[in-house]
């Protein structure tokens, strides 16, 4: 495979697509699929055949506004239909070439206007199981260009220049990480893609892996070239069977096209990727635990240093990046690095994909430029809180993050700004809460999550999260005291400062941030035995046991 051959494939696909008068794209991502998008696609296929029209039907990855699904987009008109079911198939096919089907159109111009699609540029436009579709949209161009025109150092320099930071949550500068691995001694190195997305309410990485798997593989191959690795692993949680299937198919196709394997593009560069499945442990998203899991050991973190960049998989230098980080690589190299750094804020460049969920009108996947105001994401893109309720807070960063109250909605989204208000960017989950959410109960929910997902290795996280949960439960059921609250705060401090890995170190964040902005709700529960949102049951006290129990 070389650039010319790649261009030929792209040209052939474009020519083939041009033969059709219309394209009917059906979103087959999980949310739409769960509402029978597969039956809808069958009905559309039948209707197209019956109509005799010259129409291409294609299954695609996530189109974004999941709560409006199943979604169908007709091109070239770019008509988006929402809540489509099989009964609409004939009407949609009949309308092709004429006026759109009345009453079925998805009028979400505002929703899309504020978004900038980089990572998701192909999602909704290509069939994720067809490598040619990806190639036709400039896929693998960056890899071949890098292999034939650039030095590894040049690649690292370009990535560093773009200002890209790790999208897994920590926000570590990607170029710097690549440089460290490149400089680490040893000629056996690994690149790892962290697809162990596990935050409640987060599905960005799944949508990327399912909707555009080649993009991740291309990013990994470029990274491998830059750091001098010849072997890669994609660590995906087993709860994502579709992602695993599509990645497996994508790897097979990439190998067949000579884009993975030995002497890629007739250069001395060898690289192949293996998929490893996670067994359902959230902590395996932590890089040292992930390494242990890939090696076949119990997924528990270990103290750093040494960092994986120096001693990772089987003691070799290992580059670990998140799915979304790799998904940003190809466009950064294909375009000018200034193009990327022109988007976003001072220290947070590019775009970020968020999974918008909770008490919001348009739940789904959105991609916005960094620096955008939270208010714009929630009120414009998300369409605000439904049902006449009022917005209370938005939780970012999952169980490691915090709740941001209404008065801070004008905050521009960036790594540093979110940390400043007591939350984190995290991997991109965004859970919106309204006046029917009890913030103490929300904190308790996240603490319970951390408690059940703690690996149990270090004491502060193992026993500390369980104690936080007990104290929060007391407060929620009306038996908590102000002493319990003081103890809780003290415990938060110890867990934060002494836990071994990020899971424990950030587990108190939901408690601390709700305490910071919604302390009055805690006081109401404790002093007045009242849950302001009406969520908590305050009569859950345990009765004493009389002696005359039945034998």
Partner 1 sequence: MSKLKLATVWLDGCSGCHMSFLDMDERLIELAELVDVVYSPIVDTKEFPAEVDIALVEGAVASVDDEKKIKKIRAHSKMLIAIGDCAVAGNVPSMRNPIGPEAILNRAYIENATAQQQIPCVVVPKLLRVVRPIHEFVNVDVFLPGCPPSADTFHTALTALLTGAPLDIPALTRFGA
Partner 2 sequence: MTTDADVKTLVIDEQEVSARAGQTILEVARENDIDIPTLCHLEGLSDVGACRLCLVEIKGSNKLLPACVATVQEGMEVSTNTDRLRKHRHAILELLFAERNHICSVCVSNGHCELQALAQEQGLTHVRLPYRNPELTVDASHERYTVDHNRCILCTRCVRVCAEIEGAHVWDVMGRGINSIVITDLNEPWGSSSCTRCGKCVQCCPTGALFDKSKVGDDHPKYPDFLPYLNLMREAQ
Task: Give the contact letters, 530-549, x = binds to partner 1 (CB under 8 A), - = no.
Answer: ------------xxxxxxxx
Which does residue 547 touch among partner 1, partner 2, none (CB within 5 to 8 A, set by kind)?
Answer: partner 1
3 state DSSP class of 508: coil
* Closer residue to partner 2, CB minimum distance, 85 or 490: 490
Q: How far is the CB of 473 from partner 1 (least distance, A)?
A: 14
Which does residue 63 touch among partner 1, partner 2, none (CB within 5 to 8 A, set by kind)?
Answer: none
Task: Give the contact letters, 491-530, x = binds to partner 1 (CB under 8 A), - = no.
Answer: ----------------------------------------
Q: Is the dihedral of CA 369, 196, 154, 144 positive or negative?
A: negative
Which does residue 210 touch among partner 1, partner 2, none (CB within 5 to 8 A, set by kind)?
Answer: none
* Closer residue to partner 2, CB minimum distance, 34 or 452: 452
**How many residues of this chain interact with partner 1, rule: CB under 8 A?**
9
Q: How far is the CB of 234 from partner 2 (least distance, A)?
A: 23
Query: Which ranges of 314-355 would DSSP assign to H, the alpha helix?
Result: 323-334, 337-341
Q: How far is the CB of 14 from partner 2 (least distance, A)?
A: 50
For residue 196 the two structure tokens come to 């162990």
User: What are 177-180's contacts with CB under 8 Å, separation 24+?
Assistant: 177/309, 177/319, 177/321, 178/223, 178/226, 178/227, 178/319, 180/307, 180/309, 180/310
Q: How far is the CB of 340 from partner 1 (least distance, A)?
A: 57
Which does residue 455 touch among partner 1, partner 2, none (CB within 5 to 8 A, set by kind)?
Answer: partner 2
Which does residue 252 touch among partner 1, partner 2, none (CB within 5 to 8 A, set by kind)?
Answer: none
Which does residue 548 touch among partner 2, partner 1, none (CB within 5 to 8 A, set by kind)?
Answer: partner 1
Q: Which of 453, 468, 460 is nearest to 512 (CA)?
A: 468
* Closer residue to partner 1, CB minimum distance, 387 or 543: 543
* Closer residue to partner 1, CB minimum distance, 18 or 547: 547
Residue 178 makes CB contacts below 8 A (sequence gap 6+) with: 155, 156, 159, 160, 223, 226, 227, 319
Q: How far is the CB of 244 from partner 1 (least distance, A)?
A: 42
Place of tokens 């309308």: 95
* Closer residue to partner 1, CB minimum distance, 136 or 471: 471
Which does residue 551 touch among partner 2, partner 1, none (CB within 5 to 8 A, set by kind)?
Answer: partner 1
d(CA 223, CA 32): 33
Q: How far is the CB of 279 from partner 2 (least distance, A)?
A: 11
Which does residue 499 touch among partner 1, partner 2, none (CB within 5 to 8 A, set by kind)?
Answer: partner 2
Place of tokens 């035995």: 529
**DSSP 8-state code for residue 101:** P
Q: How far is the CB of 531 from partner 1 (least distance, A)?
A: 24
* Closer residue to partner 2, CB minimum distance, 18 or 542: 542
* Closer residue to partner 2, CB minimum distance, 315 or 534: 315
* Closer residue to partner 1, CB minimum distance, 18 or 545: 545
Which does residue 263 touch among partner 1, partner 2, none (CB within 5 to 8 A, set by kind)?
Answer: none
Count of Cβ atoms closer than 10 Å to residue 322 Cβ: 27
Q: How far is the CB of 487 from partner 1 (least distance, A)?
A: 11
d(CA 447, CA 469): 6
d(CA 71, CA 124): 10
**Angle in degrees, CA 326, 118, 321, rounded to 5:** 15
Q: How far is the CB of 286 from partner 2 (least distance, A)?
A: 13
Where does residue 542 rank: exposed (0-12), middle (13-18), buried (19+ CB within 10 A)? exposed
CB 444, CB 406: distance < 8 Å: no
d(CA 478, CA 310): 50
3 state DSSP class of 235: strand
C-alpha distances in Å from residue 404, one per residue of 200, 411, 422, 430 = 17, 10, 8, 10
* Closer residue to partner 2, CB minimum distance, 182 or 461: 461
Q: How far is the CB of 548 from partner 1 (least distance, A)?
A: 4
Which does residue 471 touch among partner 1, partner 2, none (CB within 5 to 8 A, set by kind)?
Answer: partner 2
* Closer residue to partner 1, CB minimum distance, 85 or 483: 483
3 state DSSP class of 108: coil
3 state DSSP class of 432: strand
The four Cα atoms 206, 67, 104, 48 give a dihedral, to 10 degrees, of 30
Q: How far is the CB of 315 from partner 1 (least distance, A)?
A: 42
Which does residue 487 touch among partner 1, partner 2, none (CB within 5 to 8 A, set by kind)?
Answer: partner 2
Residues 153-192 that bind partner 1 (CB under 8 A): none
Q: How far is the CB of 458 from partner 2 (least distance, A)?
A: 5
* Closer residue to partner 2, CB minimum distance, 208 or 281: 281
Which does residue 549 touch among partner 2, partner 1, none (CB within 5 to 8 A, set by kind)?
Answer: partner 1
3 state DSSP class of 26: strand
CB 394, CB 319: distance < 8 Å: no
Residue 312 makes CB contacts below 8 A (sequence gap 6+) with: 190, 192, 287, 291, 318, 320
* Closer residue to partner 2, CB minimum distance, 425 or 503: 503
* Closer residue to partner 2, CB minimum distance, 97 or 493: 493
Q: How far is the CB of 471 from partner 1 (least distance, A)?
A: 12
Residues that bind partner 2 (CB under 8 A): 281, 283, 298, 302-303, 451-467, 470-471, 487, 490-491, 494, 497-500
d(CA 426, CA 436): 25
Residues making contact with partner 1 (CB under 8 A): 542-549, 551
């Amino acid at each position: 495979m070389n650039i010319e051959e790649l261009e030929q494939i792209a040209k052939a696909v474009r020519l083939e697509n041009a033969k059709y008068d219309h394209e009917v794209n059906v979103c087959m991502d999980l949310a739409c699929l769960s509402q029978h998008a597969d039956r809808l696609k069958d009905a559309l296929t039948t209707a197209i055949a019956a109509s005799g029209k010259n129409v291409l039907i294609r299954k695609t990855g996530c189109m974004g506004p999941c709560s409006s699904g199943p979604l169908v987009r007709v091109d070239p008109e770019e008509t988006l239909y929402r809540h489509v079911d099989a009964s609409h198939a004939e009407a949609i096919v009949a309308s092709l070439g004429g006026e759109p089907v009345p009453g079925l159109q998805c009028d979400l111009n505002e929703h899309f206007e504020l978004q900038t699609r980089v990572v998701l540029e192909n999602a909704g436009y290509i069939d994720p199981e067809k490598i040619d579709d990806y190639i036709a949209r400039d896929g693998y161009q960056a890899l071949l260009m890098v292999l034939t025109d650039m030095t590894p150092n040049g690649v690292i320099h370009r990535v560093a220049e773009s200002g890209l930071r790790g999208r897994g949550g920590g926000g570590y500068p990607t170029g710097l990480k690549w440089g460290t691995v490149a400089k680490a001694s040893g000629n056996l190195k690994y690149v790892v893609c962290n697809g162990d997305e596990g935050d409640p309410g987060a599905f960005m990485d799944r949508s990327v892996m399912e909707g555009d798997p080649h993009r991740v593989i291309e990013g990994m191959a470029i990274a491998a070239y830059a750091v001098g690795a010849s072997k890669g692993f994609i660590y995906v949680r087993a709860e994502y069977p579709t992602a695993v299937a599509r990645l497996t198919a994508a790897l097979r196709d990439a190998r067949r096209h000579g884009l993975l394997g030995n002497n890629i593009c007739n250069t001395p560069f060898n690289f192949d990727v293996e998929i490893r499945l996670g067994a359902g442990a959230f902590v395996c998203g932590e890089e040292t635990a992930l390494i242990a899991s890939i090696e076949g050991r119990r997924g528990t973190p270990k103290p750093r240093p040494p960092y994986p960049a120096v001693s990772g998989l089987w003691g070799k230098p290992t580059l670990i990046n998140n799915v979304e980080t790799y998904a940003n690589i190809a466009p950064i190299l294909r375009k000018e690095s200034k193009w990327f750094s022109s988007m976003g804020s001072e220290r947070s460049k590019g775009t970020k994909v968020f999974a918008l969920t909770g008490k919001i009108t348009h739940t789904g996947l959105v991609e916005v430029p960094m620096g955008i105001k939270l208010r714009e994401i929630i009120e414009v893109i998300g369409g605000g809180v439904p049902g006449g309720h009022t917005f209370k807070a938005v939780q970012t960063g999952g169980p490691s993050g915090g709740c941001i109250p209404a008065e801070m909605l004008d905050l521009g989204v960036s790594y540093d700004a979110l940390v400043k208000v007591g939350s984190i960017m995290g991997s991109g989950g965004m859970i919106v809460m309204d006046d029917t959410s009890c913030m103490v109960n929300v904190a308790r929910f996240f603490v319970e999550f951390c408690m059940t997902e703690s690996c149990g290795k270090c004491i502060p996280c193992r026993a500390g999260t369980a104690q936080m949960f007990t104290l929060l439960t007391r407060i929620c059921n009306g038996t908590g005291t102000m002493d319990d609250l003081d103890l809780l705060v003290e415990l938060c401090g110890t867990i934060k400062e002494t836990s071994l890995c990020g899971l424990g170190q950030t587990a108190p964040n939901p408690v601390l941030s709700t305490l910071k902005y919604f302390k009055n709700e805690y006081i109401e529960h404790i002093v007045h035995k009242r849950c302001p949102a009406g969520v908590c049951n305050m009569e859950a006290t345990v009765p004493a046991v009389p002696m005359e129990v039945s034998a």
